[in-house]
């Protein structure tokens, strides 16, 4: 498949299993730099209720048959396929006004987010269809009734309404967590740049990697889409606060308690710390970051810096340095490699930005010295730096967002005031602070954090490794309180969980274990003549158990362990000192001696399917062990996770060490890698 950037395409929607066109003649979409028509778009007359029903049924069922790891690997394969085809998307992306660097964020940043989610899910989620969260809660004294939280995929569709500025990333960063959760998606890109999203969806579907029904696309206006959502669907929205707030109140969303996640515009701040002087590295880093955030994507980024908060004594120096740096921006057609800043996404956006600058000018003055305009034809706008001398009493500079290369400089006198200024944005996606002073970092970050989803501290040490103010990362929260929409889009497994229902399941441990696929303390175990370490992954069953013989701990053992390891802590070596300790009645065995003796008791030494011990989890010492005590171990296979792409898997063993009175002295999970077959098949 090849792109035809010069041919005016009629955009289609992929709904209920086929590519469809709207009934009306499409609205033209124009190249942001040249004004040439790129595509037409229309969605009138499309049956969106049918599309949602088809997604729930066909896509949802297919996805839910797979495990978390299978879905995560599917995403990795898809990300690899998209990487191979990336040049096609880069070519199409120029029409949106994006330079090649801007498109990198959108295209490879989006694909990278898929890769990151894929590997994160395979590391942090089990290879099962149910996600177990937190510890078992024992609810009865005799251990016959317990509770456990589980997460299962919602049985609806994830409806993603996206913004115009990141036609690829905006889609990929949202479908990645939803598909891993096991929920099919219906993507509705913003009309302005939908041609790039449509092109990518065509390529995604052509790979055949996703099961039918797991990805649908709506090109054109949303029509009555939202009227058909149910309590099992999820709606996410990125765009203007006004549209988001209107959608949030849709009767179907309110009446069905539909999960609605919103990421709206926010007036993100960058604060220069009071400790910084004009000749400090932090000053230069601050200038570079602000200028970069103003010009990347021509400032059309939800995370872009809009408010530049600086110590009053440095205000003139900052204005000067920023103008010098911004003055270097080369504005023009993004296809020209010398160009560093492309146009805004459309003529409409340009008008909108100019109108918002006019609003800002009621409280701030334009800093003179910046007069780049870019070519007359196309949606070009030069950088605009404003200065508001009394920002604490101003309103517009904290609420009016000019979604372009526009920022306002705001001086402050005390750090407390700078923090208060960040609050006046009423909730933002991100703020950055440039300081090299730990006390400034502490005071400013703790003050700003409740109003922000992310805070980046910049200084000389992190300058080379910093991912920057404006980059949302898959493993960190992306979203912010208040004006920013109140959502948490990214942030590791948090966003996967957003598409799943958390349920507290209560019951007897054996039945709870049957639901979660884990052995739970209190459930029966099964011991047979074979040591569990002799069983390969294909033989081993949840609940397979070993009870060891007892081993007495002597004073010589404790002393030997102390001198051998060098751990001669008084509680092990000095009877009187140990007695003075509130927890002990005399010298006690080392915790690590207990763990070592336990391994000596449960390990089967011969070469076999157990390949390695890669750690322990949740280790607790519960009862002190004194010389003369006799230790026994109960080892139970608790969780078995075969890896899809390896000939081994993980086995989590519950290890309970008890003394001669049956009291638990230590309990932990032993983590091992076990071969799928033994002897390994050639």
Compare residues 422 and 428 and give the one whose CB is closer to ligand NDP.
428
Residues in the chain: 682
Q: Using the rule CB under 6 A, is 498 a contact of ligand NDP?
A: no
Q: For strands 131-138 and 37-41, give the pairing.
A: unpaired
Cβ at position 190, least distance to ligand NDP in Å:
4
Task: Round to whole Å and give the CA distance between 344 and 266.
Answer: 18
Tokens read off for 47: 């049956």
Among 14, 403, 519, 533, binds ligand NDP (CB under 6 A): 403
Q: Which of residues 315-354 bind ligand NDP (CB under 6 A)?
A: 352
Compare residues 162 and 459 and give the one whose CB is closer to ligand NDP.
162
| Bridge partner residues of 41 (DSSP) | 27
Q: Using the rule CB under 6 A, is 239 a contact of ligand NDP?
A: yes
Task: Round to whole Å and give the CA distance between 402 and 417.
Answer: 24
Q: Which stretch binds ligand NDP (CB under 6 A): 5-13, 142-150, 238-246, 318-326?
A: 238-246
Cβ at position 431, least distance to ligand NDP in Å:
15
User: Closest CB to ligand NDP belongs to which residue?
Assistant: 239
Total residues at interface with ligand NDP (CB under 6 A): 23
| Bridge partner residues of 523 (DSSP) | 521
Residues whose CB falls within 8 Å of the CB of residue 361, separated by 6 or more in sequence, listed in order: 386
Among 16, 48, 66, 161, binds ligand NDP (CB under 6 A): 161
Supply the DSSP symbol for 16: T
Q: Which stretch binds ligand NDP (CB under 6 A): 19-27, 84-92, 157-165, 659-667?
A: 157-165
Task: Round to whole Å and give the CA distance between 222 and 196.
Answer: 18
| In contact, 383 and 328? CB cutoff 8 Å | no
Q: Using the rule CB under 6 A, is 191 a contact of ligand NDP?
A: yes
Q: Using the rule CB under 6 A, is 401 a contact of ligand NDP?
A: yes
Cβ at position 188, least distance to ligand NDP in Å:
6
Cβ at position 592, least distance to ligand NDP in Å:
51
Task: Round to whole Å and give the CA distance between 411 and 307.
Answer: 10
Q: Using the rule CB under 6 A, is 222 a contact of ligand NDP?
A: yes
Task: Round to whole Å and give the CA distance between 609 and 672.
Answer: 10
Q: Using the rule CB under 6 A, is 63 a contact of ligand NDP?
A: no
Alpha carbon 531 to its chain's center = 42
Cβ at position 215, least distance to ligand NDP in Å:
17
Is 263 annotated as catalytic?
yes
| In contact, 307 and 408? CB cutoff 8 Å | yes
Give the residue from 433, 487, 485, 483 showing the smallest Cα distance to 462. 433
Residues whose CB falls within 8 Å of the CB of residue 249, separated by 6 or more in sequence, listed in order: none
The helix-helix angle for 415-423 and 438-448 (nearest 10°) equals 30
Q: Using the rule CB under 6 A, is 510 a contact of ligand NDP?
A: no
Tokens read off for 294: 């103003």
Among 207, 221, 399, 508, binds ligand NDP (CB under 6 A): 221
Compare residues 222 and 510 and give the one whose CB is closer to ligand NDP.
222
Q: Using the rule CB under 6 A, is 96 a contact of ligand NDP?
A: no
Catalytic residue among 302, 388, 488, 639: 302
Q: Using the rule CB under 6 A, is 196 a contact of ligand NDP?
A: no
Catalytic residue positions? 263, 302
The residues binding ligand NDP (CB under 6 A) are 161-165, 188, 190-192, 221-222, 238-240, 243, 247, 263-265, 302, 352, 401, 403
């Amino acid at each position: 498949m090849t792109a035809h950037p010069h041919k005016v395409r009629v955009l289609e929607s992929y709904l209920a299993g086929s590519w469809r066109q709207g009934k009306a003649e499409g609205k033209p979409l124009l190249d942001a730099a040249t004004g040439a028509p790129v595509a037409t778009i229309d969605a009138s007359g499309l049956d969106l209720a049918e599309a949602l029903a088809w997604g729930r049924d066909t896509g949802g069922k297919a996805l839910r048959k797979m495990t978390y790891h299978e879905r995560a690997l599917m995403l990795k394969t898809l990300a690899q396929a998209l990487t191979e085809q990336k040049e096609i998307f880069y070519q199409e992306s120029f029409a949106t006004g994006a330079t090649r660097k801007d498109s990198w964020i959108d295209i490879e940043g989006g694909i990278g987010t898929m890769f990151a989610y894929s590997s994160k899910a395979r590391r942090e989620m089990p290879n099962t269809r149910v996600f177990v969260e937190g510890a078992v809660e024992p609810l009865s004294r005799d251990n016959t009734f317990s509770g456990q939280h589980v997460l299962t995929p919602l049985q609806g569709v994830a409806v993603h309404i996206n913004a115009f500025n990141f036609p690829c990333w905006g889609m990929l960063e949202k479908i990645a967590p939803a598909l891993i959760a096991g929920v099919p998606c219906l993507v509705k890109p913003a009309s302005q740049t939908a041609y790039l999203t449509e092109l990518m969806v065509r390529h995604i579907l052509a790979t055949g990697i996703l099961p039918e029904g797991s990805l649908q696309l709506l090109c054109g206006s949303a029509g009555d889409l939202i009227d058909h959502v149910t309590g099992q669907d999820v709606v996410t929205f990125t765009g203007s606060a006004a549209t988001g707030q209107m959608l949030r109140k849709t009767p179907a969303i309110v009446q069905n308690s539909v999960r609605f996640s919103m990421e709206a515009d926010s007036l993100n701040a960058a604060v220069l710390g009071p400790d910084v002087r004009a000749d400090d590295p932090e000053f230069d880093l601050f200038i570079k970051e602000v200028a970069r955030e103003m010009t990347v994507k021509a400032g059309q980024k939800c995370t872009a810096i809009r408010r530049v908060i600086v110590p009053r004594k440095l205000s003139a120096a900052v204005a000067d340095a920023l103008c010098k740096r911004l003055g270097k921006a080369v504005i023009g057609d993004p296809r020209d490699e010398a160009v560093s800043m492309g146009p805004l996404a459309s003529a409409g956006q340009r008008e909108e930005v100019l109108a918002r600058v006019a609003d800002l000018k009621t409280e701030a003055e334009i800093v003179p010295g910046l007069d780049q305009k870019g070519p007359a034809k196309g949606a070009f706008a030069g950088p605009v730096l404003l200065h508001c001398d009394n920002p604490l009493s101003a309103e517009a500079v904290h609420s009016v967002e000019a979604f372009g290369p526009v920022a306002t400089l705001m001086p402050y006198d005390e750090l407390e005031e700078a923090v208060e200024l960040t609050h006046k944005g009423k909730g933002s996606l991100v703020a950055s602070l440039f300081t090299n002073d730990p006390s400034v970092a502490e005071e400013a970050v703790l003050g700003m954090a409740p109003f922000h989803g992310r805070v980046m501290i910049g200084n000389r040490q992190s300058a080379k490794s910093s991912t920057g103010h404006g980059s949302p990362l898959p493993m960190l929260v992306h979203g912010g309180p208040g004006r920013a929409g109140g959502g948490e889009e990214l942030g590791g497994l948090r966003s996967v969980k957003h598409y799943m229902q958390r349920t507290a399941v209560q019951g007897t441990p054996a039945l709870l274990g049957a639901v979660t696929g884990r052995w739970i303390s209190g459930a029966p175990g099964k011991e047979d003549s074979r040591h569990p370490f002799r069983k390969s992954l294909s033989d081993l069953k949840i609940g397979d158990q070993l009870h060891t013989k007892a081993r007495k701990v002597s004073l010589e053992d404790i002393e030997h362990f102390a001198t051998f390891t060098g751990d001669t802590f008084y509680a092990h070596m000095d009877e009187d000192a140990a007695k003075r300790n509130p927890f002990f009645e005399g010298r006690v065995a080392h915790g690590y001696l207990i763990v070592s003796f336990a391994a000596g008791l449960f390990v089967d030494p011969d070469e076999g399917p157990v390949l390695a011990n890669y750690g322990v989890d949740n280790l607790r010492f519960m009862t002190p062990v004194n010389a003369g005590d006799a230790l026994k171990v109960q080892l139970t296979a608790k969780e078995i996770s075969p890896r899809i792409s390896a000939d081994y898997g993980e086995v989590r063993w519950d290890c309970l060490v008890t003394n001669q009175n049956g009291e638990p002295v230590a309990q932990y999970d032993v983590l091992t890698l076990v071969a799928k077959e033994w002897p390994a098949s050639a």
